[in-house]
Structure 1
Amino acid sequence: MPQPIFPRPGDNNTCNLREAVTNPHITVGEYTYYHDFDDPRKFQEKNVLYHYPVLNNDRLIIGKFCSIAHGAKFLFNGGNHKAKSCVNYPFAIFRDLWDHELPINDSWDNKGDIVVGNDVWIGFEALIMAGVTIGDGARIGSRAIVTRDVAPYSVVAGSPAKQIKKRFADEDIALLEKIRWWDWPEERIKGNLALLMGDIAALRQAFGQ
């Protein structure tokens, strides 16, 4: 069911990202929002960079209930000049100038999709590189440069980003992954908001084995 593009009355800096994205190679789950000090509706033009799916068939996949802060960027394969080439210069993209038949995408390494799980928080001006998968419930620090996969419910920060800590104990992470609250019906979520916004001990008591 479509949501209003601006979920908070009077706030035109926060948008339901799913309603703002039109690129078929970008998939966004329900209730994920993006905040921008300018215009959040320009996300796919300003924040998804070097994305040439017609050449690479690469995708940006973002789950449900994610929170994405101003300036977070997703840097795709077109920004990765070919590492195994003898030169850095991308001759393949200048076909007319150099009169060759090389495929254009021979200029860069194709590391694959960027996949963001559910309930992920991505901080101010963080940079997510091509081929990275971010697990459910993870937190990405402001201006982090994420070059490797991020485990579910971990906190990463820095350049390159490294794990600072796990948000919860392993058994609690397993519980959260098991209940997958983001897949609940809306009414069930509404009925459990206090529990979801509370501490993990109460959730464990309510849903633990």
Structure 2
Amino acid sequence: MKRFDAFAEQALYGPDGFYTRSRGAGTTEADFITSPETSNLFGACVASYLDRVWHELGEPNPFVVVEGGSGNGKLCRDIFLAAQDCAKSLRYVMVERSDKQRDVALRMVAATCFTDSQEIPVAALRDLPRGQFTGVVIANELLDNLPPRIVKRTGTGWSELHVEDGSETWRSAPEDAQNMATAISTNAPEGACLPLQLKAAVWTKRALQLLDKGRLLVV
């Protein structure tokens, strides 16, 4: 038996999970689509925002951009193609859990943005980097993909969703989940369900701690 967030984590990111085995995002023969795949304008808008932030921060060099859940690198590519003022200072870190997607992203960005360069100002990591920097952390359609815990109001408190042999089962929620659920919804009626998005909160805290000066952009 697994708590729902652990079950969903395995289903999405495990060895046989959706993001591990899927064809990724895109418009042709892909399993899903995100904003960068709909139009280059999305990346151009983000690039314009980065130019503005670069000026606001005093035109730092390097100007570091870390993108969580970078997937196939489409947003990174479009930003480099559209960025103007901050382009020469830009250092980009793509954070992607899928080994396959990281490889695809690096090759695509190098082939389209840095054809004449032996070294490119782009790195691809499995997790957020260590150490503080001046720049921007981007989370585009990432936080809503981090599995939540699920609790349900009962006559005596809160129960928490688990999965056992492919079927849902509810068990009394531990004290931390009880307290969080009550704080979120003190008057929830019996039977009401709530997501406890702790993974998103942890990721956001880690992202903010990376910034010596800068912005966190969540889309």
Is this a same-fold pair by TM over 0.5? no
Q: Which has the higher helix share?
A: 2
TM-score, normalising length from structure 2?
A: 0.21
Q: Which has the higher contact order (CA 8 A, sep 6+)?
A: 2
TM-score, normalising length from structure 1?
A: 0.22
